[in-house]
Structure 1
Amino acid sequence: MNLARYCLTNADPNPAKTALEVVGACGERLETWTYGDLTRSVLAVAAGLKAEGFETGDRVLLRIGHSSDFPLLFFGAIAAGLVPVPTSALLTSLETNTILADCGAALVIHDGKTSLPDTGAARFFGPNEIEKLKQAAPAGFAETQADDPAFLIYTSGTSGTPKGVLHAQRSAPARAPMYQGWYGISAEDRLLHAGAFNWTYTLGVGLMDPWANGATSVVYDGPRDPHVWPEILETSKATLFAAVPSLYRRILKYADVSQTSFPDLRHGLTAGEALQAALYHDWKERSGRELYEALGMSEISTYLSSSPGVPVKPGSPGRPQPGRKVAILDEGSEVAQPAAADTPGLLAVHRDEPGLMLGYWNRPDDTSAAFLGDWFLTGDRAREDADGYYWYEGRADDLMNAFGYRVAPEEVERALAAHPSVSEVAVTAVPAGSGVDLITAFVVPAAPDSFSEDELAAFAGERLADYKRPKVYRPVAELPRTPSGKVQRKALRNV
Structure 2
Amino acid sequence: MNQQQTQFSTLWVLVVPPHSLAPEAADGKRSSNPAFWWVNGRGNEVRWSFEELGFHSRKVANVLSDICGLQKGDRVMLILPRIPEWWLVNVACMRTGISLVLGTSQLTAKDISYRLQACKAKCIITNDMLASAVDAVASDCQFLKTKLIVSEGRRDGWLNFNELYKAQPADHICVKTKIQDPMVIYFTSGTTGSPKMAEHSQGSLGFRPVISERYWLDLTPEDMMWCLSDTGWIIASLGSVLDPWVFGSCVFVHNLPQVESATILNTLSRFPITAIFGAPTLFRMLVQHDLTSYKFMSLQHCTSGGEPLNPEVMEQWKRTTGLTICEMYGQTETGIICSVFKGMKIKPGSMGKTAPLYDAQIIDENANVLPPGQEGEIAIRIKPKRPLGLFSKYIDNPEKTASSERGNFFITGDRGTMDEEGYFWFLGRSDDIINSSGYRIGPSEVENCLDRAPAVVESAAVSSPDPLRGEVVKAFVVLSPAFSSCDLEKLRLELQEHVKKVTAPYKYPRKMEFVQELPKTITGKIKRNELRNKEWGRM
- 1:120 matches 2:120: no
State the partner residue of 2:78. Answer: 62
CA distance in 2, matches of 1:468, 1:282: 22
State the partner residue of 1:278. Answer: 312
Q: 2:348 pairs with 314, 330, 349, which one?
A: 314
State the partner residue of 2:451. Answer: 434
Contact between 1:381 and 1:395, CA under 8 Å: does it hold in 2?
Answer: yes
Q: Larger relative contact order (C-alpha < 8 A, sep ≥ 6)? A: 1
- 1:480 matches 2:539: no
Deviation at 1:468, TM superposition (A): 8.4
Q: 2:162 pairs with 119, 126, 131, which one?
A: 131
CA distance in 1, matches of 2:189, 2:74: 23
> In structure 2, the residue corresponding to 1:185 is in which secondary structure?
coil
CA RMSD for the aligned pairs?
A: 3.4
Deviation at 1:200, TM superposition (A): 2.8
Q: Structure 1 residues 465, 97: closer, same or farther in 2, change over 3 A?
A: farther
- 1:93 matches 2:109: yes
- 1:235 matches 2:235: no
State the partner residue of 1:82. Answer: 98
Per-residue CA deviations over 1:308-347 (Å, capped at 9, x if unaligned) read 232211010101123422111123x2xx220133101111
State the partner residue of 2:279. Answer: 244
State the partner residue of 1:380. Answer: 414
Q: After superposition, where does 1:153-172 map in structure 2 within 5 Å? A: 153-157=186-190, 159-170=192-203, 171-172=205-206
- 1:347 matches 2:388: no
Deviation at 1:142, TM superposition (A): 1.3
Q: Give TM-score, length-normalised by structure 2.
A: 0.71
Contact between 1:293 and 1:318, CA under 8 Å: does it hold in 2?
Answer: yes
Ranges in structure 2 where 5+ consecutive residues have no aligned partner: 1-20, 151-158, 434-445, 453-457, 465-518
CA distance in 2, matches of 1:158, 1:10: 43
Per-residue CA deviations over 1:326-370 (Å, capped at 9, x if unaligned) read 111123x2xx22013310111111222101001001111110110
Per-residue CA deviations over 1:357-398 (Å, capped at 9, x if unaligned) read 010011111101100123110111111111111111111135
Q: Structure 1 residues 257, 134: closer, same or farther in 2, change over 3 A?
A: farther
CA distance in 2, matches of 1:10, 1:169: 25
State the partner residue of 1:410. Answer: none
State the partner residue of 2:177. Answer: 144
State the partner residue of 2:48. Answer: 33
Q: Structure 1 residues 40, 383: closer, same or farther in 2, change over 3 A?
A: same
| Range moving further from structure 2, 248-257 or 84-93 | 248-257
Q: Structure 1 residues 80, 15: closer, same or farther in 2, change over 3 A?
A: farther
Deviation at 1:18, TM superposition (A): 0.9
State the partner residue of 2:247. Answer: 213
Q: Structure 1 residues 221, 283: closer, same or farther in 2, change over 3 A?
A: same
Deviation at 1:74, TM superposition (A): 2.3
> In structure 1, the residue corresponding to 2:298 is in which secondary structure?
coil
> In structure 1, the residue corresponding to 2:69 is in which secondary structure?
coil
Deviation at 1:285, TM superposition (A): 1.0
CA distance in 1, matches of 2:389, 2:237: 15
> In structure 2, the residue corresponding to 1:254 is in which secondary structure?
coil
CA distance in 2, matches of 1:144, 1:368: 26
State the partner residue of 1:338. Answer: 369
Deviation at 1:78, TM superposition (A): 2.6
State the partner residue of 1:450. Answer: none
State the partner residue of 2:57. Answer: 42
Per-residue CA deviations over 1:460-486 (Å, capped at 9, x if unaligned) read x9xx9696898999999x8537xxxxx
Contact between 1:347 and 1:380, CA under 8 Å: does it hold in 2?
Answer: yes
State the partner residue of 1:365. Answer: 399
Give the aligned residue type for 1:338.
V
| Range moving further from structure 2, 28-37 or 206-215 | 28-37
Per-residue CA deviations over 1:43-74 (Å, capped at 9, x if unaligned) read 22112211132121111011222211111112
If you compute each CA radius of gyration, which structure gives the higher value, 1 or 2?
Answer: 2
Percent of aligned pairs with the same amino acid: 23
CA distance in 1, matches of 2:351, 2:94: 32
Deviation at 1:90, TM superposition (A): 0.2
Give the aligned residue type for 1:165.
A
Contact between 2:191 and 2:529, CA under 8 Å: does it hold in 1?
Answer: no
- 1:109 matches 2:125: yes
Per-residue CA deviations over 1:175-206 (Å, capped at 9, x if unaligned) read 34553322121111011222344443222112
> In structure 1, the residue corresponding to 2:38 is in which secondary structure?
strand
Contact between 1:277 and 1:315, CA under 8 Å: does it hold in 2?
Answer: yes
Ranges in structure 1 where 5+ consecutive residues have no aligned partner: 1-8, 400-429, 443-460, 482-486, 490-495
Contact between 1:439 and 1:469, CA under 8 Å: does it hold in 2?
Answer: no
Give the aligned residue type for 1:434.
D
Deviation at 1:239, TM superposition (A): 0.8
Deviation at 1:23, TM superposition (A): 2.1
